[in-house]
Amino acid sequence: MEEVMINDLISDGILPAIHAHREDDDSIIIEWIFPDIRFGLNIEKDKKESGWHVVSKQIAASGPLYEVVS
């Protein structure tokens, strides 16, 4: 099996780019936006305020990140 790096898939236009930006409060927002679905993380100074989200026409879900990653 051939190893494929995600950067190669993004560079080749197979996957969309991952977007990240810093907010005024120094939190970081990371989003991976596809035509029909969006995945996101917000990383906060207080890890209990960090979270994740998934949004599409069929689903809208979010939750605290500390329950997923310890």
Average pLDDT of the residues in 4-24 = 90
Strands, DSSP E only, in 1-70?
A: 18-22, 28-33, 37-43, 51-56, 60-64
Residue 31 has what pLDDT?
97
Residue 70 pLDDT level (bands cut at 50, 70, 90): low
30 belongs to a structural domain: yes
Report the chain's terminal Cα–Cα distance, integer Å: 32
21 belongs to a structural domain: yes
Residue 42's domain comprises 17-67
5 belongs to a structural domain: no
Provide the number of structural domains found in the chain. 1
Average pLDDT of the residues in 45-60 = 94
Residue 5 has what pLDDT?
85
Average pLDDT of the residues in 32-50 = 94
